[in-house]
Structure 1
Amino acid sequence: MIDSLKDSFWSILLVLNYLLAVIAIITILFKKINSSKTVAYILVLVFFPFFGLIVYYLFGQEYRKNKIFNRKDISNANIIKSVGIDLHIEGREFAKDEFFDELDDKVKLIKLLKASEKSPLTLNNSIDILKNGEVKFKLLIEDLKQAKKYIHLEYYIIKDDDIGTEILDILSEKAKSGIEVKLSYDDVGSKLSSAMKRQLDESGVEHYPFMPVLFSSLTGKSNYRNHRKIAIIDGVIGYIGGINVSDEYINNKKNKLFWRDTHLRIYGEAVKVLQFHFLTTWDFVSDSSLDINEKYFPSVDADENIAIQIAASGPDTNWANIMEAMLTAINNAENYIYITTPYFIPNAQIITALQIAAKIGVDVRLLIPKASDSWIAANATNSYLDELLFAGIKVYRYYKGFIHAKTLVVDDVFSTIGTCNLDNRSFNINFEINALIYNEKQSKILKNQFLEDLKESDSVDFESWKKRSKLSKLQESFARLWSPLL
């Protein structure tokens, strides 16, 4: 009997695997998720026994989302109500309708987000577009040292390496002096030692991880991570963009890899919207009641009148706000569309919109890294280049180092800087946040930065690209199979 069981052990396991796989497939079909993602999960479950179940368990189930983020959405609604009613943010922040007439109908996405309580259009803003980490950290450290009331930080990656320790030491000193300091960090992306956490505790810095996991080093790119990078100082200065707190984001003699990134410093009313999004996250990670008062939303008088919306998306939002904003901007482009992203694994809507824009004469250009930090992401990106190039879209690959900037600029009218990549993970799975900027001067600054980056990039020639090896094409096809799940 025992020998018989031993002989059939693997057969029993295989039968059990496919029984569970059938249950999983039925569950997926009832969810009515998009067809490409459905097919990807089914193929993985059928053709990759055992491994397919692991993938589905880690990435396919949404019981965590439904259970956890429904509660967060309720909390968000309560905070919106408190901010909107008690502080009259809505009445002050929404721009006058005359502003829409100035833009004509070229950028309709303002109206797309205008009705949202979470994305008011603000006009009283001045901004600085920051190129690379060394520029960002110099200004951020200066602003942190000048903080008088409070400091709020929310980061996907914060490490206690050289730059991280310098910033965390400033936070500790500020907390000791009586200034309120709150720090939220993603538990998968960040690495803080026990000694640093003890220092933060002893100095009075309040700090919480976002969705703690048991073995963060083994979770890789697990679902529902907080990919945002937000810094708020005294409610009037805010930072948003692609640069995390880590030494690798600084270009100095210690780092062999040049890191090209873009961040944004805001002084003005848009910081209030960043503050709102920070508070919703803080309420979630700290699991404590928030005392929302006017100190978090002070009056501010900026030198300029730059129009900005803050668009946030994540598992707790009803709509893919950032993706919809980008799609609307692409659809309304008349002259050019310049996109920089480290990960380009788009959905069908983005691909179609870019192809149509190029075919009607819009100058569409895409800048991606030549060397990626992910084999499967790079090959998945490469699998899309044929259809882009065929439609007349110009593709460039940055060779100076790794380009991590996440920017889009359209027609000298609209630009966006933030944390959102052009991939399924950013559009639908992780928590992301972008600044949408409606200003000719700032759009031209970002456009000129894009054109400068092209000088250190290779243009992809369609005829040469088609001649790449069959092995490369096979790897791309394999990676693309996984693209809906990346």
Structure 2
Amino acid sequence: MIDFLKEHYFFILIIVNYLLAISAIITVLLKNINPTKTVSYIIILALFPFFGLVIYYLFGQQYRKTKIFNRKHIINSKVIQSVGEKLKSEEQDLAVLNKKLDDKIKLIKLLKASEQSPLTIRNEVDILFNGEVKFERLLKDLQNAKNHIHLEYYIIKDDVIGTKLLNIICEKAREGIEVKMTYDDVGSKLSSKMKSQLNESGVNHFPFMPVVFSSLTGKSNYRNHRKIAIIDGEIGYVGGINVSDNYVNTKDSELYWRDTHLRIYGEAVKVLQFHFLTTWDFVTEKTIEVKQSYFPKTDCKKDVAIQIAASGPDTDWANIMEAILTAINNAEQYIYITTPYFIPNDQVITALQIAAKIGVDVKLIIPKRSDSWVAESAANSFLEPLLEAGVEVYLYYKGFVHAKTMVVDDIFATIGTCNLDNRSFNINFEINALIYDSEESKILKDQFKKDITDCEIIDFERWKSRPKINKLKESFSRLWAPLL
């Protein structure tokens, strides 16, 4: 028997592979997911023995319905329920907003159906362009912390800017300030020395879904792509900028990095706090005390309406994607989108085409050169039908554009962590701030127009006549689009 196994081991492995592959294919079919994604998995499982199974088990599992998070403890907390009641919008607030937003009120109603996305009115915001501006404000706020600091980031590195930030939170922890920090185990890199310093200083820190070989896992599924900082429950940060030197433009920077972040003072910070606590409850695997001090009263006098939309395998719906689609479908004047990764689903493509064809000014900024040739080629494969419908596509060439923003009709804007791709819509944990305010929307619109001066517009006729080898590469990369 042993001799038989030795002589035919490869044949036996192939049989086992295809038995598992058939089981996986049946599972994919029964899920009734997007047909394109279904076909992609079937092709990979059928044509690539062993490799196909690895790809499926890394990227093919869907957890939105099975809930890898258990948020029951946090949601049922008396403090959370009390805060939720206080954040419920009064009818007069909605009436005032309705006049400002016209039909865009549908967007608020869409997310209001989710108890984790209350509309908050009393907020003051600062839109921060690029990492050097964000970190100047953030480091100052961290130094002034009086009660607690909560950090949740996809990437934290102990390079120059990272060490600066980490030294500050260590100092604050030694002063007796509560410091909690969670970081994605794939995206982040912290040395053993830095982890020891954090431990000795009293900083509570946990990786999100640890992996054995983080350097080899690349973009394995269900990563925490959020970037959240909360200081004393009053000040919050959310947006595209991670904690790394890559995001800070200095005279020594090899690549100019164009990004956008948001600083919030006011009620919306309470919603950011809620989402941080659900993550913390998960990564620590311990029942945590939800303190009233996490949700202090603020004396904010400004009225910038904000909803915090979070999505991921722990949410019942793809909240951010649905908000983006609703905003596009309700646009009347213009839609300006900036995204580093543009691998949209059919719904987004169709919505943008329809908007452009009925006369809405639709403009899209994407990088001229991406940090991934597959993502770049896949993105290029989606551009022709948009250009044909009248969408203006701009390629940012000054450096790398990493901002994830959209502004519509001078009354709605979103800034957050969500890219316009399948990974952000359906796989990773993401969070966006939805802003209903003409003043802030115009600031973002002005920046968009400024960024266009560092772009080249795609000419439709020239684009159609690009080399066939490019088109072939794009078509090949597009096969992988549902998995990217």
Which stretch of the first structure deviates more once superposed, 287-296 or 139-148?
A: 287-296
- Aligned-pair distance for 1:49? 2.2
The 2-side partners of 1:71 and 1:280 are apart by 8
Give CA-to-partner distance per residue, 1:203-247, whole Å, 9 cap, x none: 111101111111111111011110000000111110000000000
Q: Does residue 98 of structure 1 match 2:105?
A: no
Q: Does residue 276 of structure 1 match 2:274?
A: yes
Classify the secondary structure of the residue corresponding to 1:188. Answer: coil
The 1-side partners of 2:232 and 2:72 are apart by 27
Aligned equivalent of 1:352: 350
The 2-side partners of 1:204 and 1:246 are apart by 22
- Aligned-pair distance for 1:114? 1.3
Q: 1:309 to 1:66 in 2, by over 3 A?
A: closer
- Aligned-pair distance for 1:16? 3.1
Aligned equivalent of 1:226: 224
Give CA-to-partner distance per residue, 1:371-430, whole Å, 9 cap, x none: 000111111100000111011100000000000000000000100000000001000100
- Aligned-pair distance for 1:71? 4.5
Residue of 272, 297, 305 corresponding to 2:295: 297
The 2-side partners of 1:301 and 1:48 are apart by 60
Asked if structure 2 preserves the Cα contact closer than 8 Å seen for 1:93 and 1:123, the reply is: no
Letter paired with 2:222? Y
Aligned equivalent of 2:59: 59
Aligned equivalent of 1:462: 460
- Aligned-pair distance for 1:106? 3.1
Asked if structure 1 preserves the Cα contact closer than 8 Å seen for 2:87 and 2:267, the reply is: no
Letter paired with 2:243? V
Query: Aligned-pair RMSD on alpha carbons?
Result: 1.7
The 2-side partners of 1:449 and 1:51 are apart by 44
Aligned equivalent of 1:164: 162
The 2-side partners of 1:301 and 1:197 are apart by 37
Asked if structure 1 preserves the Cα contact closer than 8 Å seen for 2:79 and 2:292, the reply is: no
Asked if structure 1 preserves the Cα contact closer than 8 Å seen for 2:73 and 2:287, the reply is: no
The 2-side partners of 1:88 and 1:211 are apart by 29
Q: Does residue 44 of structure 1 match 2:44?
A: yes
Q: Does residue 191 of structure 1 match 2:189?
A: yes
Asked if structure 2 preserves the Cα contact closer than 8 Å seen for 1:331 and 1:357, the reply is: yes
Asked if structure 2 preserves the Cα contact closer than 8 Å seen for 1:341 and 1:421, the reply is: yes
Q: 1:71 to 1:245 in 2, by over 3 A?
A: closer
The 2-side partners of 1:153 and 1:4 are apart by 57
Give CA-to-partner distance per residue, 1:424-444, whole Å, 9 cap, x none: 100010000000000001000
Classify the secondary structure of the residue corresponding to 1:315. Answer: coil
Asked if structure 2 preserves the Cα contact closer than 8 Å seen for 1:73 and 1:317, the reply is: no
- Aligned-pair distance for 1:6? 6.7
Q: 1:9 to 1:435 in 2, by over 3 A?
A: same
- Aligned-pair distance for 1:254? 2.2
Aligned equivalent of 2:200: 202
Aligned residues: 481
Asked if structure 2 preserves the Cα contact closer than 8 Å seen for 1:322 and 1:434, the reply is: yes
The 2-side partners of 1:131 and 1:70 are apart by 34
- Aligned-pair distance for 1:36? 1.4
The 1-side partners of 2:371 and 2:249 are apart by 17
Q: 1:8 to 1:70 in 2, by over 3 A?
A: closer
Q: Does residue 20 of structure 1 match 2:3?
A: no
- TM-score, normalised with respect to structure 2: 0.96
Classify the secondary structure of the residue corresponding to 1:104. Answer: helix
The 2-side partners of 1:475 and 1:12 are apart by 35
- Aligned-pair distance for 1:22? 1.3
- Aligned-pair distance for 1:91? 3.0
Letter paired with 2:339? T
Classify the secondary structure of the residue corresponding to 2:119. Answer: coil
The 2-side partners of 1:148 and 1:6 are apart by 67
Asked if structure 2 preserves the Cα contact closer than 8 Å seen for 1:107 and 1:329, the reply is: no
- Aligned-pair distance for 1:74? 2.8
Aligned equivalent of 1:89: 84
The 1-side partners of 2:21 and 2:318 are apart by 29
The 2-side partners of 1:195 and 1:319 are apart by 40
Letter paired with 1:13? L
The 1-side partners of 2:123 and 2:307 are apart by 11
Aligned equivalent of 2:450: 452
The 2-side partners of 1:12 and 1:470 are apart by 42
- Identity %, equivalent residues: 67
Q: Does residue 31 of structure 1 match 2:37?
A: no
- TM-score, normalised with respect to structure 1: 0.96
Q: 1:288 to 1:12 in 2, by over 3 A?
A: closer
The 2-side partners of 1:411 and 1:209 are apart by 40
The 1-side partners of 2:388 and 2:251 are apart by 41
Q: Which blocks of at least 5 consecutive residues in structure 2 are unaligned? A: none
Classify the secondary structure of the residue corresponding to 1:17. Answer: helix
